[in-house]
Structures are given as structure tokens and as C-alpha cells.
Structure 1
Amino acid sequence: MKLNKYPLLFALLTLNLFLSTASTADELQLPDMGDSTGTLISPAQEKILGESFFRNIRSQLDISLDPDVQHYIQTLGQTLVSNSDNPTQEFYFFVVLSDDINAFAGPGGYIGVNSGLILNSDSESELASVMAHEIAHVTQRHIYRSYEASSRMSLPAAAAMIAAIVVATQAPEVGIGALSAIQAGSIQMQIDFTRDNEQEADRIGIKTLERSGFDPRSMPAFFEKLQYASRYYGEGAPEFLRTHPITSSRISDTRGRAEKYPYRQTPDSQNYRLIKAKLRIDSENTNQDDLVRYFQSKLDQGTAEQRAAIQYGLGLTFIKKQRFAEAEAIFSSLNQRYPKQREYLTALAQVAVNQQDFESAKKRYLQLQQQYPDNAEYQFEYISILLRSRQPKLALQHLRLIDYRYQNYPNYYLLLARAYGDLGENVNLHRYMAEYLYAIGQTDAAIMQIKLAQKDKGLNFYLSSILEDRLSFFTAQILALKQLQE
């Protein structure tokens, strides 16, 4: 599902938690925004807005949950952040499974990158150049700085304007209407300002690229390639071109700045090659037989690492085609040759899961957990296998060991709901299903689950109090949304 199909709903949903942070929100006044050093919202409020933004992104976009894809984009993003002009700021990077060429920055340091953009990059430096650009939008607080012309603004109005600007970066024709509906004024001034932001993000992004060891020339090269390709798109131009307008002067400016740095040849990482192969298979417009022919035609080309990435892609295609023995042979060979490359062991685990060989799958995911203890998704995969092999009590034991940092992940709540459901504990089944649905932006459905839990005859006082508290909280979110729409 594409974000720009439901832009106004997205704008409104983004606010629901933010608006509920203060019962007297209308009375809260922002500091004088005439000074560029002024802060529109506090760090705590920005964090809440960012979490709300991402929760509702989950409800409307297809976010990759693949542990290897998530690890790669987060690692690449954090490498760039550590060399940015604000290396201590928190960021969260994620991949949107969409063939559209796009990337976007939201409040709270949430940055989305479409799989289509990754697949259309010809080098890791090109991908990094777009991410560095989006990081600069966040570190320079471009969303918030757009309102320096306003002296004072209530928090709900500020939140509404921020959400509308976020929508405008994804669907300008509707975003402008959302801005007009929320606050009268010069919309053209806001849009002109964001164009200035684009140039600033380019300049700062190039510095971040160079400091991170990537080729600064990749930014103008990628822009030029997109501009050239746009001639053949017509009205169907890539979303990135519509939300980040690329002109000849902008390309010239970035090239001039990039050429001030010494030339460096930056090789692609093997992780970049493997993730591209995986995302190619998940692309909306790929045919499995065509993929087999594509990968087989390239098996003898390139370096040993490039050939390994092609073999990896072929093996993943064989999983899709249920040719498990051939996939197992490919990944076993790759894992033996490159034991430190996590993607090959992950693929072996996936083969075992697809064959319902749960014992082999558990052993492989346990090995991944031991090698990469900070990757919660491997723990979730292992627990999921425990549930599929009818071991709900053991699954609950492992869920209790999950680090608190990952206990607000949607998968954590979903696995809890499944485990309690398998044990016949319906109150906790509905309770944690409600938390899962809320975490992915489905607040109405979460309320329904709470009400189902409240009807259970075995409900005790402790659980009854928890359910009542969560029902009040969820209801407040819906009320805030309705008040905004009025």
C-alpha cells in the first residue's frame, strides 16, 4: 500500500499520540520562533511524535521485517550518522518494500528508503548519498525550521503543520491542501523554504559522504541518472523526483562541491550486493523464471564476491520455487566459504523452515543469536519456530528473556499473543493482540481486542485494571483524531 494514496489520513493519524501528551494542549505555547536557535518542540515530544509517525507508517506501508535487510540499512545509516554534523542524534532506518524510487525523512529521526531506490542504485555510494541527504534534513531540523516565521503556536497546531509538511514531501498536490486546511497563510513561502532545504541537505550530505568513506561524486551522478531517466517517465516520474526536484543547477552545484574532495574509488560492500539480490526477488515486477535466468546468466561474471552474491540470489529464487535441495546446496557451500557472512546462515535457516525441518531451523537460528546477540529479529524467528513446533511454554520463556529495548516491537506483542492463544489463555491473547494492533497503527482494532478480553469469565482484578487503563488510553487516541478532523 502506498503512502500517497491516503495522505490526509496519514497526516491525521501521525498526530494521535502526540496530541494526547497534554490534556491542556491548547494552552501550551511554543517559544518565540523568530530566533533560529529556538526549539519548536522538546526532545521528549519529538520522540513521541516520531514514534507515532512510524507506528502509522507501519499501518500504511509494507515495511521489510527481514533481519538481514534491517541490519544492513540500519548499519549503513548509523555509519553515516556517526560522521554527520550531529552524530549523537538518534535515528531509525527502515526499508519500504515498494518499486517506487523514493526515500523520506520523518520526525524523530525516522528515515525510510524504498527498495526500488536501492535496486536502482548502481553503487553503495549512490545509495549512501540519498541517505546522507535525508539525514541532513533531520539534523538541520528542516521540518521544524519551516515555522520560524510564526511567533507563537499551540502544540496541536504545530503538530498538525509538521504532519502536513511530511505529507507534502510525499504527495505535494494533497499536502498543500492539508496545509491550507490547517492554517491560512503563505503556502508558497513554505514550499520555497523546503526547496532551500534541499540545497542545504545536498551540501551537508556531501560532507557526510566524504567523512564516511564514500565517493562524494556519487550524489551528482545519481541525481543526473535520475534526471535523465525522468525523460521517459512523463507523469509517472519517480516519487523521489517529485518530492526532491532535481534541476541542472542543483546537479552542477553538487558536482562542484564534490569535486573539491580528492577522488577515491569506494568498493561496494558484500552486504550491499546481497541485500540488492534479496530485494530484487521481492520486487513487485519480477517473475521467478526470469529471475532464475537472470542469476544463471551472471554466475561466471565478476569477482569471487560478486559471483557469490549471484549464487545467493539464485538460491533465494530456488526457495521461492520450492526447489529446496538446490537452495540448500548453494547456501551450504557459501556458508562454508564465507562463515562470517550472516546472510548465508540465515538463508540456510529459511530453507529449513520452508521444509518444516524445525529442529535444523532452531539450531541455525540459535547459532545466529549467539553470533549476533543484538539482533532481536533472530530471536523472534527462533521463538516463531518454537510456536510452529507446538512449544508455547518454551516460547514464553524465551520471550521473557527478550531485552527491554525490543519489547515494544510489534513482533514481540504478536508472538506473546500467539503463545498465550496456544495455551488457551484468551485474556492475554486479546490483551497482547491489542498491543500489536496499536503498534502497527490499528487503534480501532486494538479497542475491539480489549473489549473481547474484558468479556472473559476468568478475568481477575489485576488484569481487569490493566485492560481498563489501556482501553482509556486507546479511546483517547481515537478522540484526539476525531477532534482534529472537526
Structure 2
Amino acid sequence: RHIARMLGQQKQDALMPLAALILAALASKAGPGAAIGVFMGGQGLAIQRQIYFTREAEREADGVGFQITAAAGFDTSGMVAFFQRLQAATKVYSDLTPPSLMSHPLTSERIADIQARIRETPYRQRIDGIEFHLVRARARVLQDDSTQGRLDARSAFESQLTLQSRQQQAAAQYGLALLALKNRALSDASAWLAKARATMKPVAGAVFSTGQSASDGAAMFASMALDIALAPGQSPALAAPTLKQAEQSYQQFPLSRGITRQYAQAMIASGMLDAASVFLREQVQLYREEPKLHELLAETYAAQGKLTLQHIALAESYVIKGAVSAAVDQLAIARKAPDASFYDLALIDARERELLTRQREEKKEKKEK
């Protein structure tokens, strides 16, 4: 709707430069300065109207976002926290720009608008699932990989352990397990993960007021266990038990994309390369937009000594990531591989032509812009 209204607005504004030109011609009798002033004023008014329209559209989009967030069951006060972070991050730049020239409303205005909407919305009690707390703990570790960042995360998790909430405690233990894994302290990681699982075990006789079944975060715990089992430094003797563990987790959580990839990694680590290649080819057909699957398939082909297929798989991974030039380079390497068959060469030629055509179109679009 915004695009349709914008086109209608542009049609109206298109008359302004023409009107300004006519007025400038009439004002030229009073001198060239007056003519230039009238013409530039008309141009400025047209641009200002476009900025105003964009600003109003963004304000309306905030309202739509608020409605979607509320309808999805999320805490709408999170929008306020987001805008506050945005305000802190862009304070230096926004202070230098006059409000009348900004294409978006002032962040302070957006915060006030959302807060007003929150006050008008009836309060609903929400219970966060354990997955929310686990993902937040994981993000806390991954957002800052520096030494100080890890120390800060550890301090936060240790403080969180003192809270009375089981979910908070389990999330802190999960975060400490991830920190230990990052530091390659695999035994500590396993110990913290075991504590997190024990914390989230169902309590006998517990009653949940929502009537919903309480999630225990089993999928994320299983994925973490596989991360630890597949980590560098583990004994090769653990490859077979890890594969069995990965297979059980995949059967229990077949829709988990992380566990699916870990199952493939376990097959590669245990030397089941043929089974891994068959499994990954099936996954690639089902989930064509996952570059990691193509990378794992390339790793499998490399272990099998299939150089042509390895570089073809890498090329597809680069295509998904948007690196078309790198994909073309990988196809060129695949063509020169000693094991390239006639079928492989035909496939490479067809894919290369397609990618080169795509490259030319992208370059043409950039020039036109």
C-alpha cells in the first residue's frame, strides 16, 4: 500500500517543479536572483513532501509492527528496548541531522508512540519457554568472543545461578557449558550441561497454571551434547558412540536443522562417507538454501577423493551466499580436476553459463542505478 500511495504522491509532486519553473520565469522580471530562489524553493518543497511522506509511512509501519508483535504473543515492550538501543547507537549521527530532513521519525518520538500504545493494550501474563532463556544465554556468549566478553558472560551467568527460577538457572548452566566448550574445556562443558538437564527435569506433582505442557529444552540440550562430542580434541574412539548419539537425536528431533547437520558431521567423523554423501544429497534437495549443507557435502567428497564434486558443492555454497564470482572460480577448478567425467563437465558448463549470465545482469543493474 505504501508503494501505491508513494506513486500517487509522486504524480502530484511532479507538478511542483513545473509550477516552480513557470513562477521562476515570471519572477525573472524582478531579477535572476528571484527566479533562482523561486525555482529552488519549488524543488525543495517537492523533496520535503517526499521526506514527510516517507516519515509518515515509517510511523505507520511501526504501528503495524506493534500489532504483529502483539498478535504473535511477544512482549511489545521489547520494541521500546530495541528503539532505546537504536537511539544509543545512532546518537552521534542523529544529533547532527535536522529533524525536518530525516526520512524516519525521531527515535524518541517512536519510543513515546510505542509506550502510548502499550498503555492502551490490556495486560496479558506471558510465560517464557526455556528455549527463550537458552537462546538468550547462547547469544550472550556468541555476541562477544573476546576474552573480556567471555569473562563478562561468565560473571552474568554466575549471578543468574542465584535466581530462584529453574529456567534461569538452567539457562545459566547452559551458558557456562557453552563457555567451557569455547575454551575447549570439554569435561567442564559436559558437567555443566548435565547440571542444566538435571535442573529442567520434570518436578513430581508440579502444576502449570497455563494448562500447557512445560518444555524441557531437550532439543537444544541434545544439540549442545553433540557439539561437545564433535569438538576438536575428542578421542577418535568416541566417533562410534557419537554417531549413535547423533542418530538418536536426529530421530527424536528430525526437524532440527542443527541436529541434522550434526548427524552428517558425525557420519563424516566416523568414516561413513558413502552414507553421509547420500544423506547430504537428500538434505540438499529438501533445503536448497542452506550453504552449510553444501559445505558438508564438499567435505565428504574431499574425504572420498572426489575433487570435481567437491568443488561443484563449494560453488553451490558460494552461490547461496551471494558470492557468484567465487562460485565461478570453484567451477573452473572443478573443470580442471583429474576425475571430471563427461557428465560432470556438461553440468559445470551449464551451471557456469547460468552464473555468468547472472553476473552480467547484476553488473548491468548496478550501472543503471
- SS class of match (2:346): helix
- One of 159, 176, 179 as aligned partner of 1:317: 179
Match in the other structure for 1:441: 322
Task: Name the CA distance, whole Å, in 1 between partners of 2:244 and 2:250.
Answer: 10
- One of 225, 231, 234 as aligned partner of 2:92: 234
- SS class of match (1:402): helix
Match in the other structure for 1:272: 132
1:387-433: CA deviation from partner (whole Å, max 9, x where unpaired) = 23333212112224427331342122212222222211222112211
- One of 297, 300, 308 as aligned partner of 2:162: 300
1:259-303: CA deviation from partner (whole Å, max 9, x where unpaired) = 222122333332221111111111235433343333223321231
Tell me the CA shift for residue 383 of structure 1: 1.0
Task: Name the CA distance, whole Å, in 2 between partners of 1:311 and 1:431.
Answer: 42
1:229-286: CA deviation from partner (whole Å, max 9, x where unpaired) = 469x53499xxxx996544443333333332221223333322211111111112354
Tell me the CA shift for residue 328 of structure 1: 0.7
Instruction: Quote the RMSD (CA, aligned, Å).
Output: 3.1
Does the C-alpha gap of structure 1 residues 270 and 150 become closer, same or farther in structure 2, counting only changes over 3 Å? Answer: same
Alignment of 1:12-161 (within 5 A): 142=2, 146-147=6-7
Tell me the CA shift for residue 469 of structure 1: 0.8
Comparing both chains, which one has the higher relative contact order based on Cα–Cα distances under 8 Å and sequence gaps of 6 or more?
A: 1
Tell me the CA shift for residue 331 of structure 1: 1.0
Match in the other structure for 2:212: none
Flag structure 1 segments of 5+ consecutive residues without an equivalent: 1-35, 37-141, 152-185
Match in the other structure for 1:345: 222
Match in the other structure for 1:427: 308
Larger radius of gyration: 2
Q: Does 1:383 align with 2:264?
A: yes
Q: Kindly provide the amino acid, as one letter, of the partner of residue 157 in structure 2.
A: F
Task: Name the CA distance, whole Å, in 2 between partners of 1:416 and 1:144.
Answer: 45
- SS class of match (2:120): coil
Task: Name the CA distance, whole Å, in 1 between partners of 2:53 and 2:94.
Answer: 25
Does the C-alpha gap of structure 1 residues 465 and 148 become closer, same or farther in structure 2, counting only changes over 3 Å? Answer: farther
8 Å CA contact 2:170, 2:199 repeated in 1: no
Match in the other structure for 1:93: none
Flag structure 2 segments of 5+ consecutive residues without an equivalent: 12-45, 96-101, 202-215
Match in the other structure for 2:204: none
Does the C-alpha gap of structure 1 residues 147 and 429 become closer, same or farther in structure 2, counting only changes over 3 Å? Answer: farther
Task: Name the CA distance, whole Å, in 2 between partners of 1:457 and 1:276.
Answer: 48
- One of 201, 214, 217 as aligned partner of 2:74: 214
Aligned residues: 307
Alignment of 1:325-474 (within 5 A): 325-338=187-200, 340-341=216-217, 342-354=219-231, 355-356=233-234, 357-402=238-283, 404-474=285-355
8 Å CA contact 1:352, 1:360 repeated in 2: no
Task: Name the CA distance, whole Å, in 1 between partners of 2:225 and 2:362.
Answer: 45
Does the C-alpha gap of structure 1 residues 309 and 246 become closer, same or farther in structure 2, counting only changes over 3 Å? Answer: farther
- SS class of match (1:451): helix
Task: Name the CA distance, whole Å, in 2 between partners of 1:144 and 1:362.
Answer: 55
Does the C-alpha gap of structure 1 residues 426 and 215 become closer, same or farther in structure 2, counting only changes over 3 Å? Answer: closer
Match in the other structure for 1:261: 121
1:51-71: CA deviation from partner (whole Å, max 9, x where unpaired) = xxxxxxxxxxxxxxxxxxxxx
8 Å CA contact 1:215, 1:265 repeated in 2: no
Task: Name the CA distance, whole Å, in 2 between partners of 1:227 and 1:454.
Answer: 48
**Normalized per residue, which structure has more helix?**
2
